[in-house]
Amino acid sequence: MSKFLLNRKSCARSCESDNNIANRKEEELSETKSETSADTSCETSSHASRPETSTKTSSKTSSKTSSNTSSETSSKTFDSSKAAQLAISSSPDSPNPAFSSSARTIFIGMILTLLGGALWGTNATVSKILMGDYHVTPLQIACVRQLAAGVLFFITASICTRKQLVSAVKSTRSWGMFVLTGIVCVLLTQVSYLWAIDWTNSGTATVLQSLNLVFVLVYACLKNRRFPNVRENVGVLLAFVGTALMATGGDFSKLSLPIMGLIWGLVDAASTAALAIMPVKLIAKWGNLSINGITFIVAGLILLPFVRPWETMPALDWRGIALFAFTVVGGTFGAYWLFLSGIMRVGAVRGTLLGASEPVMAAITAVMFTGAVFSWADFVGFALIFIMMTLLR
């Protein structure tokens, strides 16, 4: 803004000097065509007090220097997304104001979030099959699908939102946030989730992940400087009781759930809460596709030298290849796209509540395809956590 004001002042001074020259030239009888055009230009510039004419003259003058040209280009890039101007007023408690709050918008956001959660739930069971039947490690799955899904996001962004993608890549100031988001919201979320699945089962790991709503609530309370109300306190209490039942199987003298499975599940819950909060402003400015493409590729590249899938990946038959294709295209690319698009329309807390479709689908597919068995304590714990999700809407 300061550069723009300086350009307006310098433009006004140049117009005044041009007017003086033109007045002296009007006293002479022999005017050339070039002097006449200069005079006409100055007469037009003399109306700089009008906002529209002043803005046009300023943009013409500023285009003569490379520094002014670059500032004009960045301004156009910023204005290309309405969401970017409104992102600072978004919060985890409400949808991004860049989107209308109409019933149709909220309904679309609900459908997108539900579908994203359902794909994630199915993807959990598919990952369990890959780890159990084909001995693929969690890090191998995470590395391959982050890179593959990241490339899919990047290609799609280059086709659908090319200007936003180019602007995001050129924004050197934002790359620190890109890397941080990639590490916390992509790498940590996927690795912790896969380890939780590997130690337990897809249904249990996904229900533990649902505790992310508690972390979102804590963030929302801190951000808005408020205390949880009675309903929220009851919800948090139910979350702890439900988790305790799942971890102990109803016998509080011992753990029936592997301690590492519980730890990885809680880490996954915290990082999933960050996924509903951290990328909101980035996505509002540069779009879902661009941010997903950048952060997924960053996360995959970080894992690549440690995993080296071209050396360590076990042999896969046609079924294993098909499962891997689903976990990339449907369970990662499709799920993240749908879920984050829904979050932007309905808000983080409401969107995380709608994400209950994920544990439901994970539990159903775990029983159907992996032979998972749940005890009465598991079902009671599931129910308490689902009630918690309803209370913390």
How confident is residue 8, by pLDDT bands cut at 50, 70 and 90?
very low
Picking from 114, 118, 134, the residue whose alpha carbon sits closest to that of residue 364 is 118
**Residue 319, SS3 per DSSP:** helix
| Neighbouring C-beta atoms of residue 119, cutoff 10 Å | 25
- Residue 163: domain span: 90-391
Instruction: Please check whether residue 176 is in contact with residue 295, taking contact to mean a CB–CB distance below 8 angstroms.
Output: no
Residue 313 forms part of a structural domain: yes
Q: What is the pLDDT of residue 393?
A: 62
Whether 92 shows a pLDDT value over 90: the answer reads no
142 found inside a domain: yes
Backbone angles phi, psi at 278, to 5 degrees: -60, -45
Last residue in a domain, options 29, 46, 79: 79
Q: Which residue's entry shows tokens 């970017």? A: 84
Distance CA 347, CA 349 (A): 6
Q: Is the pLDDT of residue 36 over 80?
A: no
Nearest residue to 196 via CA among 258, 117, 242: 258
69 and 192 both lie in a single domain: no
Q: What is the Cβ-side half-sphere exposure of residue 281, based on CA atoms within 13 angstroms? A: 12
Most confident of the following: 43-47, 69-73, 241-245: 241-245
Is 292 within 8 Å of 210 (Cβ atoms)? no
Task: Say what the pLDDT of residue 332 is.
Answer: 85
Residue 164 lies in a domain: yes
Q: Within this chain, do residues 55 and 154 fall inside the same structural domain, yes or no?
A: no
Strand partners of residue 94: 91
Domain boundary among 79, 107, 125: 79
State pTM to two decimals. 0.69
Domain boundary among 56, 79, 102: 79
- Which pLDDT score, from 0 to 100, does residue 127 have? 95
Angle, to 10 degrees, between the axis of helix 202-209 and the axis of helix 376-391?
30
Residue 345: per-residue pLDDT: 83
Over range 149-168, report the average pLDDT: 94
> What integer is the mean pLDDT of 338-360?
76
pLDDT reported for residue 213: 83
Residues 234 and 283 placed together within one structural domain of the fold: yes
Residue 288 contacts residue 341 (beta carbons within 8 Å): yes
The CB density around residue 300, as the number of other CB atoms within 10 Å, is: 25
DSSP string of 87-147?
Answer: GGG-BTTB--TTS---HHHHHHHHHHHHHHHHHHHHHHHHHHHHHHHS---HHHHHHHHHH
Percent of the chain with pLDDT over 70: 73
pLDDT, mean of residues 275-283: 87
- pLDDT tens digits along 100-113: 567 888 888 889 88
One-letter identity of residue 185: C
Token pair, residue 377, equals 């304590």
Are residue 372 and residue 297 in the same domain, yes or no?
yes
CA–CA separation, 262 and 282 (whole Å)? 31
Residues 204 and 165 in one domain: yes
pLDDT band of residue 340 (cuts 50, 70, 90) is confident
Give mean pLDDT, residues 183-192.
94
Which one of 50-54, 76-80, 133-137, 387-391 scores highest in mean pLDDT? Answer: 133-137
Mean pLDDT, all residues of the chain = 77
Q: Are residues 240 and 299 in the same domain?
A: yes
In total, how many domains does the chain have? 2
pLDDT confidence bin for 349, thresholds 50/70/90: low
Same domain, 196 and 334: yes
> How much is the average pLDDT of 343-350?
75
User: Do 45 and 179 sit in the same domain of this protein?
Assistant: no
Q: Does the structure show a pLDDT above 90 at 293?
A: yes
